[in-house]
Structure 1
Amino acid sequence: MKSKPSLPLAYRFAVTSRVLAAVIGGYLMASLASICLALWLPTSRADAVITGMLSSFVFYLLAMLWCFACRTAWRAWLGVMLPSAAFATLAGLGFWMTRT
């Protein structure tokens, strides 16, 4: 009986890294995008929060798709962390502006 050759360890780590980028990084990006929309939309507070929460599903989906469409795991992480940093900056700025 002939056994199948197993996948290389580097490939397994790359797939694991993409899954972590999609799950953890996607959640981070979606939650920060939701916060940004809740702070920056020019509607009532309740409408802005509902819109932000509902749009977070779209951002999470886009992050998942991005992570598995990239050629490398590094590009997947970069594509999730750069928008997250931008959303965090905008959220901090919006929070700071509402406090003053």
Structure 2
Amino acid sequence: MGANAYHPKRHVTLDKGKITLKELDHIVRYAHVSYGLYESDTLPQGKIVIHTKDHNFYTLEVHKPLQSHRENVEINIEDLTHITYDIQA
């Protein structure tokens, strides 16, 4: 990653049993607005990857909105392991 690599230091607690990909997309993006990622004239580039216990993952491209056909995909909170960020602001 480059000199302007983004390394979030915020933890988000999720209380629900299941959550839609749309809700999770909103949470992870909104949680990091305070870092100034969406304040410049150009959108940041990169990915947010949501990892699950069964080694599956969901990739969110930060410069694009979530595709409508993925919005209602449900994820069990207990199956989440971690979220990785590779974002250039």
TM normalised by structure 1 equals 0.26
Question: Could you say which structure has the greater relative contact order, defined with CA pairs below 8 angstroms and 6 or more residues apart?
Answer: 2
More helix by share: 1
Larger Rg: 1
TM normalised by structure 2 equals 0.28
More strand by share: 2
